[in-house]
Structure 1
Amino acid sequence: MVADGLRVLFCGINPGLMTAATGHHFARPGNRFWPVLHRSGFTPRQLRPDEQDELLVHGLGITNVVARATARADELSAEEYREGGRLLAAKVARLRPVWLAVVGVTAYRAAFGERRAVIGPQETLIGGSRVWVLPNPSGLNAHWTVAAMAEEYGRLREAASGPAA
């Protein structure tokens, strides 16, 4: 679910099995992406996964680093991450979002070889777009609360609303 010239292109790691079955990003009930997106101010109300197309109205889109669906992201190989990073960079260069927001620091490190990357804005541009690494909203990422994630996503929202956007 992408378009040219988005303010933010959110990039998940890869589709989970529920996403693959429904065709809706972050579809698993325990995933906190949709509540965090709303609490951070990106959307005026909490959207459901089946309403993902409404993100385009807000200048937002969603894609993945790796296209292959798995039950868990740790089932992906290092080569799948690297190839996904190459394909994502080409997609970003074509679509030209202001920000690429990768949800998962481990995925970002693996896909782009940025071993010391941390959560937050990155120095590196990908496809000409600025990059922000966000915490993974999966319920498996329990050390990040919804409130803490919403605060970090909110920092990106503020940056994406600024003069460069």
Structure 2
Amino acid sequence: MSKTIFYLPNDKKLKISFEVIELMFSYAQDSFAALESGGILIGRILESTSDYVIDVASTPMLKDIQARSSFKRDAEDHQEFFDKHWVLQEGRCFYLGEWHTHPEKVPRPSQIDVRGWKELLNAEIQDQMTLFFIIVGTQQLIVWHGCIVNCRIRITRLGHIRRNEIIY
């Protein structure tokens, strides 16, 4: 299987569970009729190393707005999804970012994507100064790391996972 560990600029690591990768690729827009999909990323920050682990991702909800080239997440439904995991994990989980699809082989963030990512980082959800953003294309998904350093937002491309490297 392809690599699921990414190295952050601050020497920390991000691990994405195989189940989350498989789930996100299941929504790849590989037909003309497929609509953009997305959700939130939930996981842990390890006490021993401060590394990040993405364990769970939400999927499109009923009130989300999906089109061929846009996706608008309904905050209330995804918050409810997070709240359920918060209870199940006894408060030991964090909102770690968002994911969505693009109808292109190698996805690139749009200006709307980057603007939204910056807004999320400025919101400091759960006092998070670090978030992850994943865009799933038809052939690969790409992972970005967003953080606030010295009051400045930095967004860095961490790497990719190719769809044909996933073992089903």
Which TM-score bucket, shorter chain as reference? 0.3 to 0.5
TM-score under structure 2 normalisation? 0.33
TM-score under structure 1 normalisation? 0.33
